[in-house]
Amino acid sequence: MCKSKKIFTIFILGLIFLIALYLATFAGHNDFGLSLLKKSFALGNDTESILLEVLRFPRVVKAVIAGACLALSGMMLQAVSKNPLAEPFITGISAGAGLGIVLSVLLFSGFAYSLFGFVGALLASLFVILFCGIGKFSVTKLILTGLSVNMFASSIISFILLTNPDRTYVLTYLLTGNISENTGLSDLTLFVLFLVILAFSALMMPKMNFLRLEDDFLPELKNRRKVYNVVLIVLSSILAGMSVLTVGILSFVGIIAPQISKMLVGVDYRYAFFANVLIGAIFILLSDFVARIIIYPLQIPLGLVIAFVGAPIFVYFLVRKGGLLND
Amino acid sequence: MKKFISKFLISIMVVMFAVDFASAKTFVSLSPALTEIMYAISADTDLVGVSTECNYPAAAKQKTKVGNAYYLNKEKVLELHPDYVLLADGAASAAQKFDKIGAKPVIYKMNSVNSIYDTILAMGQLTGKVDNSKKVVANLKSQVSATKTSHPKKILYLIQLNPLITIGSKSFISDIIKTSGQKSVTADLMAFYPAVSAEYILKLNPDVIVVSTKSDNTLLKKLFPNTKIIYLTKEQNDLVNRPATRIDKAVKFFAEL
Amino acid sequence: MISVKNLTLAFDEKVLYEGLDFTAKNGELTMITGLNGTGKTTLLKIISGEMKVEGAEVKSDCQKIFFLPQKVSYPVGITLFEYILSAFYSNCFKWFTTKSEKEKVLKTLDTLELLDRKDIFVEKLSSGELQLANLAVALVSGADCLLLDEPTSNLDLKNQVKISKILKNLTKKGMTCVMITHDLNLASEYGDYFLGISKNIVLQGNRGEFFTKENLQKIFGLTFNVEFENEKIYLKIFD
């Protein structure tokens, strides 16, 4: 695939991203949002301004952050583990996030549940990574430990769900994944944090290109490679943590976006970086738009829409020629 | 002596009758509302077990606990050997749990003020306290009809803030608000307790917002900077959320908003 | 040049080496052969410095060692050219490769006669081409010592000869090269120095010293017919 074709692909993705951004911000369940677009240049105190300022803008920012983070996180883990089915939550993220959210609902009636989920996610992945050790690091160990931690935590979550029937509905809803209305951090802080992590990720892209080569090739670099792997896994955990902070536990995007990006621009990670950020953001923006309008005024959890749209896409990638099953 | 013997015999008969009656009909209630009704119609002596959520009246807390409809201690129920298990229709799916225990599940529907009256009367029939139940219902009816506001306000009732869960047309709370003369802005949603989007409630433009479970309310304050928001206390919550014999007070609460 | 001195290695009761001294010289293609499970790959890992053994002394004057394992995993979805170019992305701040680096890759591909395949996806290359691609990675990464674990094992005869010839040429230019092979014909034709590893003995020597009936009998437990003719060796199993 030649360079100009890849750049063109990313340009097209950028255009789709802008359309998705417009739809998610301005379009409603029965209009295309032209009046809202005009309104956004002169915000006042009326309902429409509050709608934009308090609801739509923060929602879109979070959708973009979550999509980009999930896709990048998935891409890194798939590259490190050399397993196309690896997903961002593999390092115990979903377990930790789930426990954090449950804890917040049980003890503080849902106060800052996103922040609890975020901290829980980071603690769980920290535990898993430290347990695997940096010196004797191996990806298999990481996946199996992460799996065990996830299972252990989900058994606790199920127990809590069963023993607190009055909270079951709320907990199920929160655990399904949805754009968080209040993350405990201001949207600006969140966005700056996102940019910083994005910059760090960008620095790892050349390294990821290098890591495409067999691990054993240069024995003198072998220990350094392990360190890079750990750095990438830590980075992907932080990225996944960011996604938990903004949208809770969302599956699929982290698996699918890297697959689509691989199909579109291959595994040159310098291009895949942009492709993943855009694809992940488009995916969540559009899903959120659909979740918002499909059975208005009822709200379906974003996680449901994503799983509903994501599962068929995922199966398509599994069975298509040159797809996952033919790797 | 003769007198003593006759007294003795009578008392034995009374005791036997009582024991016989009790062994004929005993109940386990898995719904706090139904427990309240049992107490209100003075059938509480026949109530041998209650759910962990039953906290009103205070005496209910002393009864044997059997878990709840979702997480039931079947062995405990077997031990108590009740004739009937009382269930609210929300937990109707739990009925099959009693198939082999020998207790007959009775499911009561309580999705409107009238159906609550019907439930109270039906329970009077079941427990043999027909007069009591009729008295309770009559009393409730007179109390309720006496309290009706003449200046209806638009009320938004929120059960949860994260996520936003409100009440739909199928919820009895909608009917209570309607009975109180107020207007529930979400009454046309065809559901029990729908999760709705923030955009939707923003457009409803309510006069008063009643929040059942208070949690992180940052967003709500941003959305409705000038609207009166009331957070229910634990006692008020039990009062409003329970389709039982205190609905007169619930109606009064909404009428006075 | 890499030399190993006084190497003693045993796993539990299984003794692999006892006091082995061995030198892989510059300009010589060293061939290691022997039975399965006698520690040939282990020896390569000790030479590469990846595995440290107490008491043994490993000396090396090589700048950069390249190790080609038996099993290599390849990325999916990049071309041969990009695959080899991967070797240049080792710095976090270097998002782009320079023109000279690209030219170096092209030149290397040219010497390996792979230039016309440069835009083919890695997963579509034959195993012979993949092995050449790995050699190309070794060359562009500036390695001056190649340690190859059965580089010819899955290849057809033509590719076996091709790889062996390329390695021979590289050693002539001064590279240190050690490879493991099971093909005695190939080894005797292209190798300069030989190491035969059996269950408890290690035999070594140059072509004339190594390829004798007795040595081969000791290593493989098989009878061979060995004939010398015009500096060439003809081996035949004589069972």
Predicted confidence (pLDDT) per residue in A85-142, tens digit: 788 888 888 888 889 988 888 888 777 788 888 899 889 888 888 888 766 667 788 8
Are C36 and C81 within one domain? no
Of C76, C91, C141, the CB nearest to A327: C76
Exposure b/e, B138-172, CB count within 10 A at least 16 = b: eebeeebeebeeeeebebbbbbbbbbbbbbbbebb
**Confidence band of C54 (pLDDT split at 50, 70, 90):** confident
Supply the DSSP string of B8-46, one letter for each residue: HHHHHHHHHHHHHHHHH--EEE--HHHHHHHHHTT-GGG
Taking CB atoms and an 8 Å limit, are A220 and C77 in contact across chains? Answer: no
- One-letter amino acid at B26 equals T
Query: In A, which residues are within 8 Å of C50 by CB distance?
Result: 219, 222
Can you tell me the mean pLDDT for A47-75?
89
Between chains, do A207 and C64 touch, taking CB under 8 Å as contact?
Answer: no
As a whole number of angstroms, the distance between CA A102 and CA A109 comes to 9
Do the chains contact at C65 and A218, CB–CB below 8 Å? yes
Tell whether C222 is within 8 A of chain A (Cβ): no
Beta bridge partners of C2: C24, C60
**Mean pLDDT for chain B?**
85
| Tokens 């799983």, residue located | A307
Q: Which domain holds residue C214?
A: 1-63+144-156+173-239
Q: Could you tell me if B161 and B223 are in contact, meaning their C-beta atoms sit under 8 angstroms apart?
A: no
pLDDT of B22 reads 44
| Interchain CB contact of A292 with B (< 8 Å) | yes
User: For residue B8, what pLDDT is reported?
Assistant: 59
Task: Indicate the range of A52-56, B37-41, B149-153, C13-17 predicted with least confidence.
Answer: C13-17
Antiparallel, parallel or unpaired: β B47-50 and B27-29: parallel
Highest mean pLDDT among A66-75, A131-140, B218-227, C68-77: A66-75
Give the span between the Cα atoms of C143 and A210, in whole angstroms.
16
pLDDT of residue A327: 46
Dist CA A99 CA A151 (whole Å):
12
Q: Above 60 in pLDDT, residue A275?
A: yes
- Whether the per-residue pLDDT at A307 is higher than 70: the answer is yes
By the 8 A CB rule, do B49 and B65 touch?
Answer: yes
Highest mean pLDDT among A7-21, A31-45, A197-211: A7-21
- C17 has which bridge partners? C9
pLDDT band at B19 (very low <50, low <70, confident <90, very high): very low
Q: Is C93 found in the same domain as C120?
A: yes
pLDDT number for residue B13 = 52
User: What ipTM goes with this model?
Assistant: 0.81
pLDDT digits over C112-169, tens only? 888 888 888 888 888 888 988 988 988 888 888 888 888 888 888 888 898 898 888 8
User: How would residue B122 be classed by pLDDT, with cut points 50, 70 and 90?
Assistant: very high
CB of A9 within 8 A of CB of A265? yes
The CATH superfamily holding the domain A3-27+56-326 is ABC transporter involved in vitamin B12 uptake, BtuC (1.10.3470.10)
Is pLDDT above 50 for B20? no
Q: Which two tokens stand for residue B58?
A: 């205070």
Are C9 and C49 part of one and the same domain? yes
Residue B17 has pLDDT above 60, yes or no: no
Q: Which residue of B has its CA nearest to A28?
A: B199
CA angle A110, A116, A119 (to 5 degrees): 175
Res. A278: pLDDT tops 90 = yes
- With 0-12 CB in 10 A as exposed, 13-18 as middle and 19+ as buried, what is A147? middle
Asked if residue C5 belongs to a domain, the reply is yes
Q: Do A51 and B202 touch (CB under 8 A)?
A: yes
Please give the average per-residue pLDDT across B18-22, as a whole number. 46
Whether C180 and C135 map to the same domain: the answer is no
Tell me, yes or no, whether C93 and C48 share the same domain.
Answer: no
> Buried b vs exposed e over B78-107: b needs ≥16 C-beta within 10 Å?
eebebbbbbbbbbbeebbebbeebebebbb
Instruction: Note whether residue C43 is domain-resident.
Output: yes
Q: Distance between CA atoms of A47 and A44, rounded to whole angstroms?
A: 9
In this prediction, residue C111 has a pLDDT band, given cuts at 50, 70 and 90, of confident
- List alpha helices for chain A, DSSP H: 3-26, 34-39, 47-50, 57-81, 93-108, 113-132, 139-163, 165-176, 187-210, 222-247, 253-265, 269-293, 302-319
A-interface mutation test, from B30, B160, B162, most A Cβ less than 10 A away: B162
Residue C101: is its pLDDT beyond 80? yes
Q: What pLDDT, in 10s, does the model give residues B66-112?
A: 888 777 888 888 888 888 999 988 777 788 888 777 888 899 988 88
Q: Are A54 and A46 in contact (CB under 8 A)?
A: no
- Which residues contact residue C151 at a Cβ distance below 8 angstroms, ignoring those fewer than 6 apart? C68, C131, C134, C135, C163, C167, C179, C181
Q: What is the pTM of this model?
A: 0.81
- Answer whether residue C92 shows pLDDT above 90: no
Residues C121 and C197 placed together within one structural domain of the fold: no
Q: Name which of C90, C135, C141, C176 to mutate to probe chain A: the one with the most chain A Cβ atoms within 10 A of its Cβ.
A: C90
Q: How far is B249 from chain A (nearest CA, A)?
A: 23
Report how far residue C182's alpha carbon sits from residue C153's, in angstroms, rounded to the nearest whole number. Answer: 8
Residues C184 and C219 in one domain: yes
Q: Nearest C-alpha of chain A: how many angstroms from B222?
A: 7
**A200–B contact, CB cutoff 8 A:** no
Pairing of strands C145-149, C232-237: unpaired
Comparing B18 with A106, the larger pLDDT belongs to A106
Q: Does a structural domain hold residue C162? A: no
3-class DSSP state for residue C90? coil
Give the model's pLDDT for residue A48.
Answer: 81
* Residue owning tokens 């009256």: B117
End-to-end CA distance of chain B: 67
Question: Which residues fall within 8 angstroms of residue C99, CB to CB, at 6 or more apart?
Answer: none
Of chain A, the percentage scoring pLDDT greater than 90 comes to 20
Q: Cβ of A104: how many Cβ atoms within 10 Å?
A: 24
Tell me the C-alpha distance between B179 and B192, whole Å: 18
Peptide bond connecting B225 to the previous residue in cis, omega within 30 degrees of 0: no
Whole-number pLDDT of residue A74: 93
More confident residue, C31 or A46: C31
- Fill in the amino acid letter for A315: V
pLDDT for the residue A282: 93
How far apart are alpha carbons A280 and A276 in whole angstroms?
6
Domain boundary among C93, C121, C143: C143
- A290 pLDDT tier (thresholds 50, 70, 90): confident
Q: What sign does the CA torsion over A52, A56, A58, A61 have?
A: negative
Q: Angle at the Cα of A71 (from A179 to A322), degrees rounded to 5? A: 135
Over A10-77, what HEC string results? HHHHHHHHHHHHHHHHHCCCCCCCHHHHHHCCCCCCCHHHHHHHHHHHHHHHHHHHHHHHHHHHHHHH
* Preferred mutation among C46, C67, C79, C94 to probe A, highest tally of A CBs within 10 A: C67
Residue C68 lies in a domain: no
Q: Residue A324: which pLDDT band, with cuts at 50, 70 and 90?
A: low
Residue A110 and residue B69: Cβ atoms within 8 Å? no
At A193, the pLDDT band (50, 70, 90 cuts) reads very high
Per-residue model confidence (pLDDT) at position B23: 46
Q: What is the pLDDT of residue B35?
A: 93
Distances (CA, A) of C123 to A3, B36, B37, C106: 19, 72, 74, 20
Residue C168 covered by a domain? no
Contacts of B222 in chain A (CB under 8 A): 50, 54
Query: Does a structural domain hold residue C126?
Result: yes
- The type of residue at C62 is C
Contact B26, B9 (CB under 8 A): no
Confidence of residue B120 (pLDDT cuts 50, 70, 90): very high
CATH number for position C14? 3.40.50.300
Mean pLDDT of C100-123: 88
Number of structural domains (chain C) is 2
Do C139 and C191 reside in the same domain of the chain?
Answer: no
C141 contact residues in A (CB cutoff 8 A) = 217-218
pLDDT, mean over chain A = 84
Radius of gyration of chain C (CA): 19
Rounded Cα distance between C59 and C115, Å, is 37
C11 and C30 share a domain?
yes
Would you call B132 an interface residue with chain A, using a CB distance cutoff of 8 Å? Answer: no
Residues C12 and C109 in one domain: no
Tokens of C172: 């002539």
**Structure-token match 């043999």, residue found:** B128
pLDDT tens string C208-235: 888 888 888 888 888 888 888 877 888 8
Mean pLDDT over the full length of chain C: 85
pLDDT of residue A277: 95
> Comparing B115 with C5, which gets the higher pLDDT?
B115
Least CB-CB distance to C77: which of A218, A219, A266? A266
Q: Which pLDDT score, from 0 to 100, does residue B117 have?
A: 93
C52 at interface of A, judged by CB pairs closer than 8 A? no
The nearest alpha carbon in chain B to A107 belongs to B215
Nearest C-alpha neighbor of C175 from the set C35, C62, C17, C76: C62
Q: Name which of A106, A182, A185, A288 to mutate to probe chain B: the one with the most chain B Cβ atoms within 10 A of its Cβ.
A: A182
Least CB–CB distance from A270: residue in C75, C93, C95: C95
DSSP C156: -
- Domain-embedded: residue C181: yes
CA angle A193, A197, A201 (to 5 degrees): 165
For chains A and B, count residue pairs whose Cβ atoms are closer than 8 Å: 84
Q: Same structural domain for residues C16 and C123?
A: no
Token pair for C39: 């520690």
Q: At residue A268, does pLDDT exceed 60?
A: yes
User: Residue A14 has what pLDDT?
Assistant: 96
Edge-to-edge strands, sheet with C14-24: C14-24, C2-11, C57-60
Residues 6+ apart with CB under 8 A from A276: A68, A71, A72, A74, A75, A257, A258, A261
**pLDDT at B21 > cutoff 60:** no
Q: Could you tell me what percent of chain B has a pLDDT over 90?
A: 27
**Contact across the interface for B165 and A296, Cβ inside 8 Å:** no
Residues C82 and C42 in one domain: no
- In 3D, which of C203, A176, A66, A170 has the Cα closest to residue B195? A170
- Classify the C-alpha dihedral C209-C215-C220-C226 as positive or negative: positive
Amino acid at C61: D
Residue B9: pLDDT band (50, 70, 90) is low
Inter-CA distances, C190 with C84, C147, C171, C187, Å: 27, 16, 11, 6
Residue with tokens 């910059």: A199
Confidence band for B18, pLDDT divided at 50, 70 and 90: very low
